[in-house]
């Protein structure tokens, strides 16, 4: 027990004398610290009253004989015994560490609290003196600053505007390991590291938070990487904006890379993704908008929006704000630079009646539905046979609807034949319009009253010549007026008169003409002349000659002859009274 008591007393004396001696080692310790950059390698120890500390140390050394004291304290005793009043700084520091170690290990055995507080106050005063200016501590071994009881704090507080510097410009690592590390700054909190790397490492989360702003800045490249997990910006549930590259400086912002299957995903809610500038690929023809597996949905363009095609933007599709339609345009202004729109089928084996391309017209949103929402009209290109190396005959089918799905009403064949289908096909041209050919554009004109005029004046010399030729018969419901000759040019031709053809003029197949009618009346307001080249005029009954007149008889005679031998030639009065008989 006595040994322990002596040990504690010796501990208290050493712990008191060393700090007190160090504080008085040089004058004006508040402005000059023996541990500053300006300290010498040796320090002269004195007691608080300025007297030599050696006798007191010798007394302590004798009191501690036989006790286990730190080696550094023993070395200090040996230095004083050898008459060294100027003690190496390293020995003093080690001795101080030994005293602190003793105090930490045996503080619970100090019965007098007042003495313990006195020693503690001296140690604190010495610590404040050390940190009053700049503390330069060098050690070849690891160093620790700890508190052992009462959850007490360790405070490092530079005076005034002084700077607290941890680490060196070499490869010294500064490690802070605690349950939580909090750094608070009145002004900006700046983390700089010279040319080395600044690393925040741990298995948990590294959080930078502030009441207002956290700024990360450097003069070189700034990298934010993760070797094992996702890098997140704004992944919390707080509704705040995330700004990247919004400063006024001109800059290029690159997201993602072109290696392997790297993807850049932009996700948004109902707010969408807003772009204020042009969205361009890295090079011409360098990127696709969507893919075969990931297709875009709707595309919205503003009034007057333009879609450009080609590296020279030589073809455009423009929204026409005056008609609310689309304009397809070939931008080139030179001769023979048309706008070409091609509809292609993907079929590799086109057969008869295959639709190669189609344009349909429909009102699918019509409120009345039923027939009103069906395809109302359309144009289709339809193959007329099986395509091969020498065949691609195709017709154009023009479809319209009348309370039905649009069906073909007109077709233009591959040979140029125009066919009208349906039950009411018709060709209607404007009043006084013309129908013609390439050489005679107005060969046929139709007046507003429906009068058809053939304007050609070619004379007719046969059934197949003239301004108008008809391959078959011709029916006319009303009168026919012929301005010149009317010819029936076939043998045995008949000119019939009457609804039942009751009267006919028939060519006999040679040079004769037969007039058949019941009756036949010849009425002339002038003379009636009957002329015969032979001078013969015959009167028949049932096709048999009954009376013959020979007007050029022999010797100038005019002969009247009965042609039936048994007949008499009788002359009667008006009332039938016979006058004479021959």
Question: Are 6 and 93 in a shared domain?
Answer: yes
Q: Which of 112, 132, 152 is the last residue of a domain?
A: 132
Identify whether 165 is part of a domain.
no
Per-residue pLDDT tens digits for 364-403 = 998 898 999 999 999 999 999 999 999 999 999 999 998 8
Q: Write out the E strands in 172-223.
A: none
For the entire predicted model, the pTM comes to 0.52
Question: Are 572 and 539 in a shared domain?
Answer: yes
Per-residue pLDDT tens digits for 345-363 = 999 999 999 999 999 999 9
Identify whether 480 is part of a domain.
no
Identify whether 405 is part of a domain.
yes
Q: Which of 466, 499, 519 is the last residue of a domain?
A: 519
| Structural domain containing residue 496 | 491-519
Residue 249 neighbours by CB under 8 Å, 6+ apart? none
Question: Are 315 and 379 in a shared domain?
Answer: no
Residue 426 neighbours by CB under 8 Å, 6+ apart? 420
Contact 294, 266 (CB under 8 A): no
Identify whether 12 is part of a domain.
yes
Question: Are 537 and 515 in a shared domain?
Answer: no
> Which among 106, 113, 172 has a CA at the least distance from the CA of 139?
172
Question: Are 358 and 397 in a shared domain?
Answer: yes
> Which among 82, 55, 53, 69 has a CA at the least distance from the CA of 10?
69
Question: Are 512 and 535 in a shared domain?
Answer: no
Question: Are 515 and 549 in a shared domain?
Answer: no
Question: Are 505 and 540 in a shared domain?
Answer: no
Identify whether 387 is part of a domain.
yes
Number of structural domains in the chain: 5
Per-residue pLDDT tens digits for 483-524 = 888 888 899 999 999 889 999 999 999 988 888 888 888 889
Question: Are 504 and 563 in a shared domain?
Answer: no
Question: Are 316 and 394 in a shared domain?
Answer: no
Q: Which of 423, 450, 467 is the last residue of a domain?
A: 423
Question: Are 497 and 561 in a shared domain?
Answer: no
- Show pLDDT as tens, one digit a residue, over the chain (582 residues): 444 455 555 555 555 555 544 444 433 334 334 444 444 455 566 655 566 666 666 666 666 666 677 777 777 777 777 766 566 666 766 776 666 666 666 666 555 566 556 665 665 555 454 444 334 555 556 667 777 666 777 777 776 777 777 766 666 667 777 777 777 777 766 666 556 566 666 666 666 665 567 777 777 788 888 777 888 888 888 888 888 888 888 888 888 887 878 888 888 888 888 888 888 888 888 888 888 998 989 998 999 999 999 999 999 999 999 988 999 999 999 999 999 999 999 999 999 999 999 999 999 998 898 999 999 999 999 999 999 999 999 999 999 998 899 999 999 999 999 999 877 788 889 999 999 999 999 999 999 999 999 999 999 999 899 999 998 998 989 999 998 888 888 999 999 998 899 999 999 999 888 888 888 888 899 998 888 888 888 888 888 999 988 887 666 788 888 999 888 888 899 998 999 888
Identify whether 463 is part of a domain.
no
CB-facing half-sphere around the CA of 534: CA atoms within 13 A: 6
* Helix H or strand E segment including 122: helix 113-132
Identify whether 65 is part of a domain.
yes
Question: Are 367 and 317 in a shared domain?
Answer: no
Identify whether 46 is part of a domain.
yes
For residue 363, CA distances in Å to 56, 370, 375, 405 come to: 114, 11, 7, 12
Q: Phi, psi at residue 3, to the nearest 5°?
A: -65, -45
């Amino acid at each position: 027990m006595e040994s322990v008591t002596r040990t504690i007393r010796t501990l208290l004396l050493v712990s008191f004398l060393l700090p007190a001696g160090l504080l008085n080692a040089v004058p004006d310790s508040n402005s000059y610290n023996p541990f500053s950059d300006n300290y010498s390698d040796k320090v002269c120890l004195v007691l608080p009253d300025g007297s030599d500390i050696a006798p007191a140390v010798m007394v302590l050394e004798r009191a501690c004989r036989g006790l286990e004291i730190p080696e550094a304290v023993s070395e200090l005793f040996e230095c004083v015994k050898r008459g060294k009043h100027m003690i190496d700084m390293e020995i003093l520091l080690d001795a101080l560490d030994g005293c602190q170690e003793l105090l930490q290990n045996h503080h619970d055995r100090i019965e007098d609290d007042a003495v313990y507080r006195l020693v503690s106050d001296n140690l604190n005063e010495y610590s404040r003196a050390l940190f009053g200016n700049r503390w330069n501590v060098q050690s070849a071994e690891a160093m620790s600053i700890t508190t052992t009881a009462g959850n007490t704090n360790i405070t490092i507080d530079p005076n005034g505007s002084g700077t607290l510097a941890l680490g060196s410009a070499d490869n010294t690592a500064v490690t802070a390991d605690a349950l939580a590390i909090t750094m608070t700054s009145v002004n900006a909190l700046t983390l700089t590291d010279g040319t080395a790397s600044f690393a925040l490492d741990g298995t948990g989360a590294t959080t930078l938070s502030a009441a207002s702003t956290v700024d990360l800045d450097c003069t070189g490249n700034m990298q934010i990487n993760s070797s094992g997990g996702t890098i997140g910006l704004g992944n919390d549930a707080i509704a705040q904006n995330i700004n990247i590259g919004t400063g006024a400086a001109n800059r290029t912002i690159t997201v993602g890379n072109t290696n392997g299957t790297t993807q850049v995903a932009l996700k948004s809610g109902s707010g969408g993704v807003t772009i204020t500038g042009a969205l361009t690929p890295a090079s011409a023809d360098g990127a696709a908008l969507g893919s075969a597996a990931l297709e875009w949905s709707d595309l919205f363009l503003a009034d007057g929006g333009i879609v450009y095609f080609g590296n020279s933007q030589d073809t455009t599709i423009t929204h026409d704000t005056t008609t609310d339609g689309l304009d397809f345009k070939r931008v080139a202004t030179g001769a023979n630079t048309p706008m070409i729109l091609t509809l292609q089928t993907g079929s590799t084996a086109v057969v008869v009646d295959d639709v190669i391309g189609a344009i349909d017209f429909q009102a699918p949103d019509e409120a009345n539905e039923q027939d009103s929402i069906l395809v109302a009209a359309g144009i289709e290109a339809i193959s007329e046979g099986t395509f091969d190396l020498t065949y691609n005959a195709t017709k154009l089918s023009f479809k319209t609807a009348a309370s039905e799905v649009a069906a073909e009403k007109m077709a233009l064949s591959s040979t140029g034949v125009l066919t009208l289908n349906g039950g009411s096909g018709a060709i209607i041209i404007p009043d006084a319009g013309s129908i013609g050919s390439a050489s005679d554009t107005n060969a046929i004109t139709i007046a507003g009253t429906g009068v058809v005029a053939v304007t050609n004046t070619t004379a007719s010399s046969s059934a197949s010549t003239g301004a108008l030729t008809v391959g078959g018969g011709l029916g006319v419901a009303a009168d026919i007026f012929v301005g010149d000759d009317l010819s029936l040019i076939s043998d045995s031709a008949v000119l019939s008169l009457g609804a039942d053809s009751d009267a006919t003029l028939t060519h006999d197949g040679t040079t004769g003409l037969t007039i058949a009618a019941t009756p036949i009346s010849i009425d002339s307001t002038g003379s009636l002349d009957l002329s015969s080249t032979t001078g013969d005029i015959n009167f028949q009954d049932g096709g048999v000659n009954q009376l013959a007149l020979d007007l050029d008889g022999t010797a100038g005679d005019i002969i009247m002859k009965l042609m039936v031998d048994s007949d008499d030639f009788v002359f009667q009065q008006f009332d039938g009274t016979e006058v004479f008989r021959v």
